[in-house]
């Protein structure tokens, strides 16, 4: 954020359609979205469960592992959000003049919907990554690679529309922006009308697609698991 202030200090006005206040509120919103939706340790735990054979007990119980992990994820997020309330609140408070309110109630509701979908998306993505543990011993490198892509393509580092237009368009076809950039844009009123509906639909499609993929990989993984495990 300090970086942006310096840039705007040299160059008052708009950068790629963002005023300084908008730019700063973008980052504040990213912080908030991150605190409420992003995955912290779930992928490590899932991988450990697979490696240590803890998933066996889910094969004999009438409870689905994905549902179980999802419950853990949700409760973990709640705890984390509460814990992050103070530092994030403080950060927002210190920069309160920059955090612009949403345009209207409908926008805010749409933001909440896409926030929920973003959380689902992030959870499913890391669940999918963790499934790699069926085939490789150490998933940390993959987690960091995914993390790197997420950082860049989700808009965590900078608003995606700072990129050349064609690149932004290309990014919007990947699942990453829907975990961060999209909900924030909704809040800021950057997407409205048909674009909003289309975006939400894309988000939903990605959630569905990754869910299906995660299911498929889980089935495949279990096969190798039971073969190896005897």
Partner 1 sequence: MTGETIIHALPGANPPAPALRGWRHYADIYAALWRNSVMREMGFQANFVFWLFVELLWFALQLGFNSVLYLHTDSIGSWTKWEVVMLIGASHFVQQLFQAFFLVNCAQLAELVHSGKMDFMLLLPVNTRFLISLRHVDLGGFVSAASGLAVVGYAAHQLHVVPSPAQVLGFALLCALAMLVHYSLMFLMASISFWTVRAQGMVMAYYNLFSVARIPDAAFRGAGRVIFTLAIPMLLVANVPVKVLLAKLNSPSEIVLMLAMSVVCFLVSHLVWRVALRRYASASS
Q: Write out the residues near partner 1 by the rule CB under 8 A.
A: 2-3, 5-7, 10-11, 15-16, 41, 44, 138, 141, 144-145, 148, 151-152, 157-158, 162-164
- For residues 120 and 150, which CB has a smaller minimum distance to partner 1 in the complex? 150
Q: How far is the CB of 52 from partner 1 (least distance, A)?
A: 17
- For residues 3 and 227, which CB has a smaller minimum distance to partner 1 in the complex? 3
- For residues 58 and 142, which CB has a smaller minimum distance to partner 1 in the complex? 142
Q: How far is the CB of 140 from partner 1 (least distance, A)?
A: 9
Q: How far is the CB of 204 from partner 1 (least distance, A)?
A: 29
- Concatenating the DSSP letter of every residue in 157-182 gives SS-GGGS-HHHHHHHTTSSGGGGTHH
Q: Are 103 and 61 in contact (CB under 8 A)?
A: no
Strand partners, 18: 15
- For residues 139 and 196, which CB has a smaller minimum distance to partner 1 in the complex? 139
Q: How far is the CB of 68 from partner 1 (least distance, A)?
A: 22
Sign of CA dihedral 24, 26, 27, 33: positive
- For residues 172 and 222, which CB has a smaller minimum distance to partner 1 in the complex? 172
CA 105 to chain CA mean position, Å: 23
Q: How far is the CB of 113 from partner 1 (least distance, A)?
A: 29
Q: Are 215 and 153 in contact (CB under 8 A)?
A: no
**For the chain, how many residues are written?**
230
- For residues 112 and 148, which CB has a smaller minimum distance to partner 1 in the complex? 148
The H or E element containing residue 101 is none
Residue ranges of alpha helices (H) inside 38-164 are 42-51, 56-60, 65-94, 105-130, 140-153
- Residue 57 tokens read as 């007990």
Q: How far is the CB of 201 from partner 1 (least distance, A)?
A: 28
């Amino acid at each position: 954020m300090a970086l942006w202030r310096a840039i705007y200090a040299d160059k008052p006005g708009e950068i790629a359609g963002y005023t300084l206040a908008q730019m700063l509120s973008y980052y504040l919103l990213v912080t908030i979205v991150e605190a409420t939706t992003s995955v912290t340790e779930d992928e490590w735990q899932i991988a450990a469960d697979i490696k240590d054979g803890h998933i066996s007990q889910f094969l004999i119980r009438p409870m689905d592992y994905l549902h179980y992990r999802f419950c853990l994820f949700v409760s973990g997020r709640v705890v984390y959000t509460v814990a992050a309330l103070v530092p994030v609140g403080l950060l927002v408070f210190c920069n309160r003049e920059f955090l612009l309110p949403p345009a209207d109630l409908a926008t805010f509701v749409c933001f909440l919907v896409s926030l929920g979908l973003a959380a689902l998306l992030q959870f499913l993505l890391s669940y999918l990554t963790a499934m790699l543990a069926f085939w490789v011993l150490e998933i940390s490198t993959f987690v960091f690679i995914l993390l790197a892509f997420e950082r860049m393509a989700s808009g965590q580092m900078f608003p995606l529309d700072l990129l050349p237009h064609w690149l932004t368009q290309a990014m919007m076809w990947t699942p990453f922006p829907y975990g961060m950039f999209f909900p924030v844009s909704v809040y800021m009123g950057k997407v409205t009308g048909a674009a909003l509906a289309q975006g939400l639909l894309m988000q939903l499609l990605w959630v569905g697609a990754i869910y299906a993929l995660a299911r498929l990989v889980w089935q495949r993984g279990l096969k190798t698991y039971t073969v190896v495990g005897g």
